[in-house]
Homo-oligomer: A and B are copies of this chain.
């Protein structure tokens, strides 16, 4: 959480609050009441729970400490919708979120309306000192809700895929076959670079402090690895060749019987892919997605390359920012990664799929978690996970930065994640 000094109401913050909160509900519009309860595995949360938890976040970290005499909307919602903040109190077991038929969707929407009402009322009362104090938390709450918007769609995809009927979240999503262009490896100088966030805008605490790292010269692919390229890995026995895998990766492949990315299935007419628009024929030109770190790493070894570190990625991405880059984000409403264009230079650095890096998710030098319970937001997860960069087609565009560090365990596949190759120069 960024501790910026703000002397008055940031322009547009109040409007943005309304927009962000509204978007969460808009994303649930295609869902039935029954869809709102489903939790297909412990990593996934029911849509209803996302709506309630993001609301609890504002209620707990902003309303409760700042509205005199504020009483929680419901005495047990704190228990139900606290995700993992031990300093706030005990909470409902993650794996049992899908058992919560109650509160119903309507009751959760009433909870949202109640908190929104009190929060906007609170904003009306703030003086400059109040804005200075609350803006970082408001920003955190909004960015938190944006993270859950992305998660909500990833979770809905997993939930719908668990149903043999393979229902579509939306029937109106369209995809046009694309063309894959040859990959190009662009040289990067390396040397002493600065990474991490510094400056006036919002960033999560895990992006700070900005600091220097030394990089050797390297090369980075100008586009993502495609489904067609990944299919080569499959058809030449990638999933049957232990030498290509990390030891943990190979053990996972064996234990879970992986033979392709998560949502791929072989139909009578060839490979198909489950999407938020239902089953589609696999398009070889689109970026491969829904693979684990282990698979990304094995593919890179198969290709004679490697994954980039998160710092190599950030250095290249920061430089590439000079170029106009329209990413494929949630705002584009495609909800699936798209083929790269034919132009020269880096493509797909923003949006499309999260890119697995070779970096473990660890604290930056002199990192300090935010004070209080919100300090549990990021820091305590800095173990056993890998960093991903660049956002994906489900990320709100406004939510991303070049310094943004996403993270997932190396065996996670329900995230919209793929890879970009790197190499030594």
A-side residues, CB < 8 A to B, are 32-38, 40, 48, 76, 79-80, 84, 86-87, 92, 96, 98-105, 159-160, 162-165, 167, 192, 211-216, 242-243, 245-250, 293-294, 297, 358-360, 362-363, 365-366, 376, 380-384, 410, 424
Closest B residue, CB atoms, query A241: B86
CB <8 Å contact, B211 and A101: no
Distance between Cα atoms of A84 and B242 in the complex (Å): 11
Partner of A246, one of B86, B246, B383: B383
Given known A98-B98, A159-B99, A214-B192, contact A76–B381 (CB-CB < 8 A): no
Partner of A101, one of B38, B80, B101: B38
Knowing that A214-B214, A293-B383 touch, tell me 17 more A-B residue pairs with CB under 8 angstroms: A33-B104, A34-B102, A34-B104, A34-B105, A35-B101, A37-B37, A38-B101, A87-B242, A98-B98, A99-B159, A99-B163, A101-B163, A102-B165, A102-B167, A243-B376, A247-B380, A383-B410
User: CB-CB < 8 A to A246: which residues of B?
Assistant: 380-383
Distance between Cα atoms of A141 and B237 in the complex (Å): 32
Number of copies of this kind of chain in the complex: 4
Q: Give A366 Cβ to nearest chain B Cβ, in Å.
A: 5
CB <8 Å contact, A365 and B216: yes
Q: Give A76 Cβ to nearest chain B Cβ, in Å.
A: 6
User: CB-CB < 8 A to A105: which residues of B?
Assistant: 34
Closest B residue, CB atoms, query A382: B246
Q: Give A212 Cβ to nearest chain B Cβ, in Å.
A: 5
Closest B residue, CB atoms, query A425: B366
Distance between Cα atoms of A318 and B363 in the complex (Å): 24
CB <8 Å contact, A101 and B424: no
Given known A101-B38, A214-B212, A247-B380, contact A164–B80 (CB-CB < 8 A): yes
Given known A101-B32, A243-B87, contact A92–B165 (CB-CB < 8 A): no
Can you name 10 A-B pairs with beta carbons within 8 Å? Answer: A33-B34, A34-B101, A86-B242, A92-B164, A214-B214, A216-B366, A245-B380, A248-B383, A360-B360, A366-B424
